[in-house]
Amino acid sequence: MEFITPGFFSALLAIVAIDLVLAGDNAIVIGLAARNLPREHQRKAIVWGTVGAIVIRATATVAVVWLLKIPGLLLIGGLLLLWIAYKLIVEEKEHDIKSEKNLMGAIRTIIVADAVMGIDNVLAVAGAAHGSFLLVVLGLLISVPIVVWGSTLFIRLVERFPIILYLGAGVIAWTAGSMVTSEPFLKGFIVGMPVLGWVVPAIFTVGVILLGRNQRQASLKASFRKDFEGEKD
C-alpha cells in the first residue's frame, strides 16, 4: 500500500475508528487500576501503564499482520472478526479490575489487563492494516492518546449516541469481509467475480448491524420485563 493515497488514508481512518470503539473498555481499566493511588502517582501510572500497553499491543499487532500472510488465516481471522463485531453490539461488559495502592502494581495491572482485553483490537487492526506495519503504528499513535486522555468523554458519547457503537461494529464487519475476500484460497473465485470484493463486506456489515440490533433490543426488553416483574413481586 503506497503512502499518501486514498486507500492508505481510508485504512488509517478505519484503524483509528476500530481503536476508539474497541479501546473504550481498556480506558476504563486504566482508570479503575489507578483510582486508589495518591493523586501525584495516578498520572504516572496512567502514562507508564499506557506506554507498556502500546509496546505490547504494537508488537502483537505486527506479529498478527505477519501471521495473516499465511494461507487460510485471513479467512479464519475474518470470521472471528465478524463475531467480534456482533458481540460489540450485543454484549454488556463487566469490569472486575483490582485497584492497586502502589505505583508499580497499578502499572503492571494496566499492562496485563490491556494485553488480555486487547486481543479483539489486535486482530481488527491487523486486518484493517492490509499488511502495512506503518498503518499499525500510526493508528496506535493517533488513537491511544485520544482513548487515554479522552476516555470519559468518548464513553459518554457512546452512551448518549448508540449509533457510534453501530458505526464501529460496521467498520469491523467491513474489515472482516475484506479479510475473507482477500484470502488466497478464494482468490481465484474472487477474481472471476470481482463484485464480491464489495458485496461480501456489505453483506457482513448490514447483517451484523441488523442481527446485533435485534438481539440488543430483545435483551433490553427481557431485562425490562424481568425488572418489572420483580417490582410487582
> Among 138, 185, 200, which residue's Cα sits nearest to residue 9?
138
As a whole number of angstroms, the distance between CA 232 and CA 188 comes to 61
Range of the domain at 48: 6-232
Asked if residue 86 lies in contact with residue 208, where contact means CB atoms within 8 angstroms, the answer is: yes
% residues pLDDT > 70 (the chain): 72
pLDDT at 3 over 60: no
Counting every residue written for the chain, the total comes to: 233
Residue 141 falls inside a structural domain: yes
Residue 35 falls inside a structural domain: yes
Burial-class residue 89 by CB neighbours within 10 Å (0-12, 13-18, 19+): buried
Residue 118 falls inside a structural domain: yes
Number of domains in the chain: 1
As a whole number of angstroms, the distance between CA 89 and CA 167 comes to 10
Residue 203 has a pLDDT of 94
> Among 95, 125, 110, which residue's Cα sits nearest to residue 51?
110
Asked if residue 13 lies in contact with residue 128, where contact means CB atoms within 8 angstroms, the answer is: no
The whole-number average pLDDT for the span 15-19 is: 78
Indicate the helix (H) or strand (E) that contains 112: helix 103-117
3-state SS class at 73: helix
112 versus 210: the higher-pLDDT residue is 210
Residue 1 falls inside a structural domain: no
Residue 195 falls inside a structural domain: yes
The pLDDT tens digits of the residues spanning 46-67 come to 777 777 877 887 788 888 888 8
pLDDT at 217 over 80: yes
Identity of the amino acid at 214: N
The pLDDT tens digits of the residues spanning 124-183 come to 888 888 777 888 777 777 766 666 665 556 666 777 887 888 888 888 899 888 888 888
Packing angle, helices 119-129 and 133-160, rounded to 10? 120
As a whole number of angstroms, the distance between CA 61 and CA 127 comes to 9
Asked if residue 117 lies in contact with residue 26, where contact means CB atoms within 8 angstroms, the answer is: yes
Residue 211 has a pLDDT of 93
Residue 75 has a pLDDT of 86
Residue 144 falls inside a structural domain: yes
> Among 233, 163, 174, 168, which residue's Cα sits nearest to residue 206?
174
Packing angle, helices 196-232 and 73-90, rounded to 10? 30
pTM, full prediction: 0.73
Residue 184 falls inside a structural domain: yes
User: To 5 degrees, how large is the angle CA 168–CA 140–CA 95?
Assistant: 60
